[in-house]
Structure 1
Amino acid sequence: MAHQITIGLATELTVHTPGSEVRARAVCIRAGVMHRIEAIEILSIYLDALSEEAFALHAGADAITVDIDMEAIFALQSLLAEPNVSAQQMRDRVRQALSLANASVIDPRLQTVLAAVRESIHGRQYLARLVHLSPTRFSHWFVEQTGLPLRSYRKWSRLVAALQNIAAGRSLTEAAHAAGFADAAHFSRTFRNLFGLDPTSALGHVHLIG
C-alpha cells in the first residue's frame, strides 16, 4: 500500500521477498510486496505511492538498495527526537536524506484522483469520470500509474486518515469510523497487515505528528 524504505541503524539489513534477497544499509521495498526483514535495529519510512517522493524514487523492482550515508541517518534520528517537529520538516529531511530535493511532479490527473480518494464517499465510477475513462479502463490505468490496485491504495489512504485522527486526539474507535473503517477491529487488521504490529501496543510508544 506504500513504498517502505528501511534503514539498518546498527548494521546492514537483509530483505527477503518472494523473488529476491537484498542486503544493504538501506532498502526500498515496493508497495504491495510481501517481505521479511532481518536486522538488529531499523528505521522505516513509508512513502505514499502517489507522492512526489515515490515517483522520484522509481521503485520498480520488489526491493532495491538505496544510497544513504550515516550523516543523513543521524540527521533523521535527531529530527525524530525533537518534541515539536512538524510533518513538513520530516518530509523535507526525508527528501534530503534520499537526494529527492527535486522530486518529480505527479501527473495532474493523478493529483485529481488522489484528492478525491481522500474523500471516502467517492467510488470507482466517480473517479473514472474525473479522468474521462471507463471504470474498467480506469482500474488498469491506476495500476499502470501507481503499481497498486485502487482498493489497496484506498486502504492506505484510510489508514493514514485514521492515524491523523488519532494524532488529533481521537480514540482508536472514533478515528477508525471517521476514516471509513467498519470498526476498530477492521482498522487494527489493516494496521497489522501493513506494519506487522498491533496498533494498540505500537501506538502506545510513539508520538504521532498530525
Structure 2
Amino acid sequence: MAWTGNVWLGMGALAFWGEVGETAPHTHAAHQVFLGAGPASTVRAHLPDRTLGPARRIVIPSGTPHQTSPAEPSVRGLVVWLEPDRWPHVDDALIDGWPGADSPMIDEAGAARIAAWVGDSRHRDPHVHDYVRRALAVTSATLTESPTLRAVSAEIGVSSSHLSRLWRQDLGMSFNTWLRWARLREAARLVGEGASITDAAHGAGFADGAHASRVCRSMFGLSPLELTSGLTLI
C-alpha cells in the first residue's frame, strides 16, 4: 500500500498526514510518532525483539530498527518524525501536550495544527548543552561543505572528544548519523521550493540523487518521491 497524503516540514520536525502504507525494515535518526485518525486507525511496528500494536498511538525511539504496517486495509493517521537535537526525550506525556493529540478523532486540520506546533522553534527541549547548540548551528550552515566533527569542534573552541560525548549524550546519536538526517531535511526543503530531487540532493550536500535516495530509504523507509509528495513548509 502506497503512502498518499500531505507532508509538513518545520524546524526540527517532519510530519505526514494521510493514508499510511507499509515500510521496509529501516532505522532512522529521528524519533517517530504515529497518531491514528480514529480508534480503528491502528498500525503495527515490528521491532527486532517485539511487535508494538496494533495501536492508535505508537512511539519509536531514535535509532530503533523497525518496520511499520497498517493493521487494517485502510488506515489514515499522522506520522511525525522529531529531530533529537530539538526533542531528546519523547514519551506519552510530551505527546499529550500537543494540541489535539489526545482527541478521539484527528482530521487533516487537526493534523496541521499538531504539525505546526511541533515545527515551532519556540517549543525547543531545554536539555541540550550550549556547545551542542552552537555546533548544530555551525553544521547546519555548512552542510554542502562536508562538515566534520573535528572542524566543527575547532570552530566553537572545544575538543572533538568532548563535543562527541555531549552530542551522543544530548542527541542520542553520532555526529554522522545526525548529519545524514540534516541533509535529508534540507533536501526536502529544497524540493518544497521547486528544486528537482537531483538538484536538491546536491544542494543538501549529497553526492548525487542516488545517494540521497539510499539515505532517505534507510532513514524513513520511504523514497524521496514518497517523502516529498504534497510537501508544505511550516
TM-score range, shorter chain: 0.7 to 0.9
Q: Could you report, residue by residue, the CA deviation over 1:144-181 in whole angstroms, capped at 9, with x for unpaired residues?
A: 21110111100000000011111111111111101000
More helix by share: 1
Give percent identity, aligned residues only: 25
Q: How far apart are the structure 1 equivalents of 2:226 and 2:115?
A: 24
Q: How far apart are the structure 2 equivalents of 1:57 and 1:66?
A: 7
Q: How far apart are the structure 2 equivalents of 1:132 and 1:209?
A: 34
1:206 paired with 2:230, answer yes
Q: Could you report, residue by residue, the CA deviation over 1:59-90 in whole angstroms, capped at 9, with x for unpaired residues?
A: 9xxxx99554235733xx21557xxx9xxx83
Report the TM-score, using the length of structure 1 for normalisation.
0.76
Aligned to 2:177: 152
Aligned to 1:182: 207
Cα pair 1:15 1:38 within 8 Å, conserved:
yes
Cα pair 2:33 2:79 within 8 Å, conserved:
yes
Alignment map for 1:26-175 (pairs within 5 Å): 26-39=57-70, 40=72, 41=75, 42-51=77-86, 54-55=87-88, 57=90, 67=96, 68-71=101-104, 73-74=106-107, 77-78=108-109, 90-92=115-117, 94=118, 104-105=125-126, 106-118=128-140, 119-120=142-143, 121=145, 122-130=147-155, 132-175=157-200
Relative CO higher for 1 or 2, CA cutoff 8 Å, sep ≥ 6? 2
Flag as ranges the 4+ runs of structure 1 deviating above 4 A.
64-67
Q: Secondary structure at the match of 2:217?
A: helix
Give the root-mean-square deviation of aligned CA atoms: 3.1
Cα offset for 1:132? Answer: 4.3
**CA 1:195–1:129 in structure 2 vs 1: closer, same or farther (change >3 Å)?**
same
Q: Could you report, residue by residue, the CA deviation over 1:79-119 in whole angstroms, capped at 9, with x for unpaired residues?
A: 557xxx9xxx8332x489xxxx9653233222111111112
Q: Which runs of 5+ in 1 are unaligned?
A: none
Q: Secondary structure at the match of 1:44?
A: strand
Match of 2:41 among 11, 14, 24: 11
How many residues of Structure 1 are paired with residues of Structure 2 in the alignment?
190
Cα offset for 1:15? Answer: 2.0
Amino acid at match of 1:4: Q
Cα pair 2:183 2:206 within 8 Å, conserved:
yes
Amino acid at match of 1:171: S
